[in-house]
Each structure stands twice: as C-alpha cells, then as structure tokens.
Amino acid sequence: MSESTQLVPITVTVNGKAYQREVEPRLLLVEFIRATLGLTGTHIGCDTSYCGACTIIVDGDTVKSCTLLAVQADGSEILTVEGLEQDGELHPLQQAFSQNHGLQCGFCTPGMLMSSLALLAENPDPDIKDIRKRLAGNICRCTGYQNIIKSVQAAAKSLRED
C-alpha cells in the first residue's frame, strides 16, 4: 500500500460471525474474504468476473466477490461456502454434489454451490433449463457440467422431500 492510502473501517458478518477490519479502499471483497479473514474456500479463477469461482451470497444476492470492493460490503451479511456446513453436518446440497460426482478438482465447487443454493432458494423445483440459466456464470473445467446438473436436481429433490 502506498503511504498515502487511507484505511477504511468496515464491519461485515460472514457466516454468522461479525468482523471489524480496516481495509484499503481498493481491496476486492474476494481478497478480503480470502486473505484478510482467511476463509480460503472462496476461489479466484479469472480476472474478468467470468468464471464464478468467487461466487458468494451478500445480503441474499449471489455476487461474484471479485466484482465488489470490500468497502462496498460494509454492513452486509455474507455467506460463503464455509457457512454451508453446520456443526459438522453437511447441507443436502453439498451431499448431492458429492454423491452425484458434481465435482472433480473442486476448484469451482464453492462458487457452484453458492449459485446453486441461491437458485434452489428461489426455485425449489428447477428444470434443466433453469439450472443451465442460473449457473451459466460458473465455469467448471472438469465435469462437463453433466453431473452438476444432476447434483442440483438431486439436491432439489432431497430438499423438497425434507
């Protein structure tokens, strides 16, 4: 940071826990989450907001956290992949991805999970077209997407039967 940079205090709640930090105004939200808070489940796969590996949920909206500055998230409530597991128990969506082989290397998976969670929150019974449309901003280079679609469908079914 250059000497003249002023730090800005921000407060965010991430996965239910409140954090107060002083950040550079230029710090990206994804860098804040990864490097400042040490929550490295959210990944960076490109520089142009194309890949979606950094997708998180901010105040109920899915966002690519490389497109927001940390200071823009001041006062917000954030959910990252680390917030899906509760007390050591996996969310049905996480289980569905594993059981349907919806991940291989796992690098895109956190973003996929967050986008899928938001999809299912809005639409408990999505058809394949809905899934394709909603996940079009998340790139996976391993699975060819077939099993990601299957995973989301399986999660939807399991959540509906809940």
Tell me how far, at minimum, the Cβ of 8 lies from another protein, in Å: 7
Interface with another protein in residues 67-106 (CB under 8 A): 69, 71-77, 79-86, 89-92, 94-95, 97-101, 103-106
Q: Which of 151, 158, 137, 156 is nearest to 45 (CA)?
A: 137
131 forms part of the interface with another protein (CB under 8 A): yes
Q: How far apart are alpha carbons 68 and 2 in whole angstroms?
A: 21
Interface with another protein in residues 14-33 (CB under 8 A): 18, 24, 26-27
Selected from 14, 51, 55, 64, the binder of another protein by CB under 8 A is: 51
Q: How many positions of this chain bind another protein (CB under 8 A)?
A: 94
Tell me how far, at minimum, the Cβ of 46 lies from another protein, in Å: 4
Selected from 19, 21, 130, 142, the binder of another protein by CB under 8 A is: 142
Interface with another protein in residues 100-119 (CB under 8 A): 100-101, 103-110, 113, 117-118
7 forms part of the interface with another protein (CB under 8 A): no
Q: How far apart are alpha carbons 89 and 125 in whole angstroms?
A: 24
Q: How far apart are alpha carbons 42 and 53 in whole angstroms?
A: 7
Q: What do you get for the CA distance between the two ends of the chain, in Å?
A: 50
Tell me how far, at minimum, the Cβ of 161 lies from another protein, in Å: 10
Tell me how far, at minimum, the Cβ of 132 lies from another protein, in Å: 5
- 24 near 9, Cβ under 8 Å? no
**Is residue 151 within a helix (H) or strand (E), and if so which, with residue range?**
helix 146-161
Q: How far apart are alpha carbons 1 and 11 in whole angstroms?
A: 21
